Each structure stands twice: as C-alpha cells, then as structure tokens.
Amino acid sequence: MNRNPSARDLLGAVSAWLGKDAPASRFDRAVAANALGMVERELLLRAEADAAASARIAALLGNGADQDALVQAIRSGALPPDDPALLEHLRLTALDALAIDQPRYVHALAEPFTDA
C-alpha cells in the first residue's frame, strides 16, 4: 500500500541530520527517535499489513485485484462506497497505518463500524 514518507525517506532524513555539525536539542533528538521508531515498526509490521490488505481486496473483488482495482471499482460504482466489507477493509487498513505511524493513538476506528 502507499506510504509516505517511506522507511527509506525517514532513514535518509535522520542520517542527513545526524551528519550535520549543528547541536541537537532535546526536541530534535525526540523527532529523530520518533522517525527511527516509525522505521522499526514499518519493518516489523508492513509486510503483514500489506498481505492482510491484499487478502481483503481479493475477497472484495476477486483474486489478482489490487489497490488500483479497488479504487477503480469504487470510482466506477461497481463497489458502493458504503459497502460494509469495504468500510471494514478501510477501517482495518487505517488501523494498520496507525499502528506504524502513531501506535499510541486511540480512536473510534478501533471499534467495528455499525449500522446505527
């Protein structure tokens, strides 16, 4: 799935920053540590998250379908944007992204969607 900045981008930015002679403030060190934490979580969690997303897309559209096919199916109306399986896929995809980017973030997304 699409992720920006990528682990490569984050590592490059931290590496470039560490190569500078400028003194680092506590805030600067916290930003660098956070970026490295994101890279670590990306390496630990991304493959499983992408595999799960691919399996959900295949369940929605059939084997061989990918994220681009899902977007096209929604745009064309072949898959209604309020389809419960689609909404669940989007919820789980968002939670996977949050687990990598903001693991301490707690949100209503943690609960499945209901038709209330």
Within 13 A of 47's CA, how many CA atoms are on the CB side?
A: 3
The domain tally of the chain equals 1
Print burial letters for 12-37: b (CB count within 10 Å at least 16), e (below 16). Answer: eebeeeeeeeeeeeeeeeeebeebee
Residue 31 CA to residue 109 CA, distance in Å, equals 26
Domain with 77, as residue range(s), is 7-110
**pLDDT tens, per residue, the chain with 116 residues:** 666 788 889 899 888 888 887 777 889 888 888 999 999 999 999 999 999 999 999 999 998 999 999 999 999 999 999 999 999 999 999 999 999 988 888 776 777 766 55
| 1: in domain | no
Q: Copy the structure tokens of residue 37.
A: 């934490």
| 116: in domain | no
Q: Tokens 């500078």 correspond to what residue?
A: 20
